[in-house]
Amino acid sequence: MNIATKINVLDGLERAVTITVPKQGYKSTFDKYLLEYKTKAKFDGFRSGKVPDKLILSKYKNQIHKDSINDLVETNLQKVLSENNLKTASPPKLSIDTEPSFENDFVFTVKFEIIPTFEIEDLSNMDVEEYEVDIKDTDIDDVIKNIQKQHTKWERTKEKAISGDKVIIDYEALVENKTFEGSNQKDFTLIIDEKVKGDIATVGLYNEFYKSVTGQITGTKKEFLYKLPVNFPDKNIAGKEAKYNITIKSVYKGILPELNNDFFSKFGLKGSNEKEFRENILKHMEHELEEKINSHKTASINHALVESNKFEIPKYMIESEKQSITNQYQGMMKKIDDVTKLELERVAIKRAKLNLLYMKIADQIKININEQDVYTFIAKKYPTESESIIEKIKKDEKYLNQIKNQILENDIIKHIKEKCKLNKIKKSFTEVMN
């Protein structure tokens, strides 16, 4: 059977494959499925396989027609892809140019994007950052101090509020003598000079609160002026000056817990001394530090890999990544504004490109992940949860694939690390962890 094939290059990586199947080809495929239905079909008064064709066709003709088309499309498309070394990056879109029949050739066109052909740039030319960190005694001291702060006991005081004190306030904000949404707060908690994460406006507002309450006692009323950010949600008052009126309701001094057996027992170290406690803390710090260093190294490798390799990326893959990120945002109840859309596009392109690069490297170094690899990885990474995770992956193929992807990424990163140039950068523990 002579199948005619034509491949047209459309926009970018999009291709259109037009295939012509001779009418004899359609008839033989149709007859194959007719026989299949005839063997399986059950009609009263007829033995299996002895049902007349006419009766089979009266009931199943349309389905046989559909099965024949699907078979011819799939079989011939796969043959074309294989013969021309093409890999699809998007689901094929089928259009029927000429309906198949016993009298006419069957002509159809399939459109899809292809995986681009490219070669990985020499990995030995890649510069990758790797942090070098020595944990000092002062770092351990700081971590222990933070742990103590997390277990602070607060005692009410009549003294003036100072740095580190907890202050409970009521406040009201006015713009042009009018309140606005979120401008009134009761029993608002401040810890003076506490580092606040957020945008410049948020940090700036907290700093004004800190300045206003520092040196004051319970019952004091204070006020300050603060310019609202230009991107403030209420566009009518964005960028305008707000007047904040504050009432200090109470001041609390923090009492840190002593480093004794009672404190150690909170961490499962009953009966231990401070030396053993510090050793235990150090182990946790080393583990967290290793995670951070590896995370940064992976990010550096990925960045270098993306920047050093230039090739076209399928639009479908970019759109798929954008949708995935959008779903994550929606899951966190976050809105995607114009600024976020630009970042979304950039991140999606990077992810899609990285996926293609990973696929290429995995193919080059012949990475093959089997069941035992998965179990070994789980036992090492999740020692306390390994049994439950193994049970989960046995029931959930999607979760199993996620684990395999983690292993694949680790193997690829390990391979790249062995090839590239590692630039050691000295960092403090605090710099890496914050």
Domain boundaries, given as residue ranges, for the chain: 4-113, 153-255, 263-433
* pLDDT band for position 342 (cuts 50, 70, 90): confident
What would the pLDDT profile of 192-218 be if each residue is shown by its tens digit? 999 888 888 889 999 999 999 999 999
Q: How far apart are CA 353 and CA 314, in angstroms?
A: 9
- Phi-psi map region of 193: left, alpha, beta (phi>0 left; psi -120 to 50 alpha): left
Which CATH code for domain 263-433?
A: 1.10.3120
What would the pLDDT profile of 108-140 be if each residue is shown by its tens digit? 999 999 999 999 999 999 999 999 999 999 999
Which pTM value belongs to this model?
A: 0.76
CA–CA–CA angle 308, 312, 316 (5° rounding): 125
What would the pLDDT profile of 264-312 be if each residue is shown by its tens digit? 888 876 667 888 899 999 999 999 999 999 999 999 999 999 999 999 9
Positive or negative, the Cα torsion across 377, 378, 384, 387?
negative
CA-atom Rg of the chain in angstroms? 33
CATH superfamily of 4-113: Trigger factor ribosome-binding domain (3.30.70.1050)
Q: β-pairing, 127-132 with 421-426?
A: parallel
* pLDDT band for position 391 (cuts 50, 70, 90): confident
Which CATH code for domain 153-255?
A: 3.10.50.40
